[in-house]
Amino acid sequence: MNGLQIGVLVLLIGLLGLSVYFIRLKSRGHPLPTMVIAFLLTSSVCIGSVGYFVSYGEDYHAWRQLQWQPLHAKKIPALVDAGYVVIVDITSDWCSICQQNKANVWQREAVATRLHRSDIILMRADATEPDEAINAYLAQEGAHGFPYNKVYGAGVRTGIVLPREVTIADLEQALILQGI
């Protein structure tokens, strides 16, 4: 269920509740101004709910569609040779900058839409628990810690390292340099 569908469902439930509420108010003999104020307040909440779910629900829905696969560093050169752009994200649950990058970049609808292509492969490594393969990749890259994000492609075969605090503009620039 996407954000729009959730928003419409909330609106319909709110309108049903509003109808029941007005029937009860009328049966108790409440004056018209009280009913108008109640209507305006309730309808504002319902419309606000639709706006919320459409705005934020879509980002969440789009992010859920990204297909991250485990990091396989040895496969990256062959994938680049085959014409793919490979995006690497090394993250950790306890890393606050990693979580910020997820919220501000990786979980955004515009990014998910941009990355949802057959010629882009997303590889993610979770370093929440110690992992020798991740440590070996970071050592090979000369990287110290995470988050660590890199975009490989035909434009810059050795890859483009993104800043620790990634922005959508940083990612977009790297994709342009890689010919995407």
pLDDT in tens, 106-146: 999 999 999 999 999 999 999 999 999 999 999 999 998 88
Average pLDDT of span 146-170: 97
At 23-70, the pLDDT tens digits run 776 777 766 666 666 666 666 666 666 565 555 554 444 445 688 999
Residues 156, 159, 161: CA angle, nearest 5 degrees: 125
pLDDT on residue 2: 57
At 67-77, the pLDDT tens digits run 899 999 999 99
Cα 137 to Cα 126: distance, rounded to the nearest angstrom: 13
At a CB cut-off of 8 Å and minimum separation 6, what does 166 contact? 101, 104, 105, 147, 149
pLDDT on residue 45: 64
Cα 177 to Cα 175: distance, rounded to the nearest angstrom: 5
Cα 162 to Cα 141: distance, rounded to the nearest angstrom: 13
pLDDT on residue 63: 46
**3-state class (DSSP) for residue 22:** helix
